[in-house]
Amino acid sequence: MSAISKSHSPVYEHAQQVLPGGTFGNTGADLIIREGRGSRVWDEDGNEYVDYLIGSGPMIVGHNHPEVTAAVQAQLQLGTTFFANNRQGVELAQAIIDAVPCAEKVRYASTGSEADAFAMRLVRAYTGRDKILKFEGGYHGYSDYGLMSTTPKKPGNTVHAIPDSAGIPRNVSENMVVAPYNDTAAVESLIREHKGQIAAVFMEPFQRIIPPRPGFLEDMREITRKNDMLLVFDEVVTGFRLGYGGAQEYYGVVPDVCTLGKAIGGGFPLSAIAGRDDIMAMFDRTRSGADRFVPQVGTLSGNPIAAAAGIATLEILKRPESFKTLFATGERLKNGLAERLARSGIEGQVVGVPTLFDVVFAGGEVRNYRDTLRGDAARMAQFNTLLRERGILKGENKYYISLTLTEADIQQTLDAWDDALAAMARG
């Protein structure tokens, strides 16, 4: 492919005039995507990229997949949204229940942030307790409670939740208890300290790119049961990505409730809370009672366009070859990156699983958020910039693997890693 152009399209100039910072807040102002097909995207300057960003996860079956597109086009002829139950949403709920071990009932929202916020409210209503235990570095959306100790730049006492944004009331932190990930002893200590006050352990079972250490999820399951607490898995990212049944299938640990997003909407706004029937009953006024009822509505929740796209996406992922392909491709790329990093002589390691991984430019084991802070952020930014110049698009700290990656995509990626690491090694 031709060299990446650094000129800015008229769309860039227009964005500077109408958007704060010239962006939607998701990526840098200089990235304006025009279209996507399969494993690739093109920006407004005509630059072509192998896409490992994939919309921050939703496009796991690739951009403009013909089956997903056909399902959406068929529904468009029937209407786009109704603020009422619809066949597509009901059928998608059944597909989620069939796939996800903890799911007995499903309630929809439109974004992962919403799903996580409603899930926190749900477990508080069910248990009658106010506090939530989360893990430092864990991301649970952009609600006030979700944005606690997700990216603290100067972590202090991990028990004290640190807001990640201006505008969050100070008293929000009083009801969030923060523990280091992969540290069972710390969790047990905090539960003893807040005995009878914590509603749930709310966690990413696979935190950003950090796998749980062997036995850690099992520990969380046992501890929450022993202390009459709930276990919630935030599977907005890992759902239908670590396996058809998500991280809970992959690791063999079943929570009480989970949240889902990204893949289940097939590229359209859709998320869900799924869990045990008796807990999900808090969304049903006839079963919960007035004092425990959790009202939850959304203009586009469960809309038929997103549900149709989700059904088509899950049907593709359910095929026996789909996850074999995802893991085989991801394993090849993950190992290829690790080999090239080792040859370069640059200190670092590849962290994650085949379908979701990245480099941490640091030595020593990476078990939790604070370990990632040892990573050389400037070197990471340089690496990402060099890769983009070579036609590889990814997020700041994550490669999402999609089903449509081709042999040409893989070879271009391996070559780009070789070139970028060689340039970094030369200084």
Q: Annotated active-site positions, please?
A: 139, 234, 262
Residues contacting 70, CB < 8 A, separation 6+: 312
Residues in the chain: 427
367 neighbors 19 (Cβ within 8 angstroms): no
29 neighbors 21 (Cβ within 8 angstroms): yes
Mapped onto helix, strand or coil, the DSSP state of residue 341 is: helix
DSSP structural state of residue 381:
H
Q: How far is CA 90 from the centre of its chain?
A: 24
Q: What angle do CA 271, 120, 160 make, to 5 degrees?
A: 125
129 neighbors 198 (Cβ within 8 angstroms): yes
Give Cα separations from 139 to 89, 238, 300, 308, 369 (angstroms): 27, 12, 24, 28, 11
DSSP structural state of residue 268:
S
| Joined tokens for residue 380 | 């990471």
Q: Which residues pair with 107 in a beta bridge?
A: 273
| Joined tokens for residue 367 | 């078990």
Is the backbone of residue 208 left (phi > 0), alpha (psi -120 to 50) or beta? left
Give Cα separations from 323 to 102, 329, 353, 387 (angstroms): 20, 10, 13, 26
Residue with tokens 């059928």: 91
22 neighbors 34 (Cβ within 8 angstroms): no
Environment class of 30 (CB within 10 Å of its CB; exposed 0-12, middle 13-18, buried 19+) = middle
360 neighbors 379 (Cβ within 8 angstroms): no
Alpha helices by DSSP H, 345-406: 369-372, 377-389
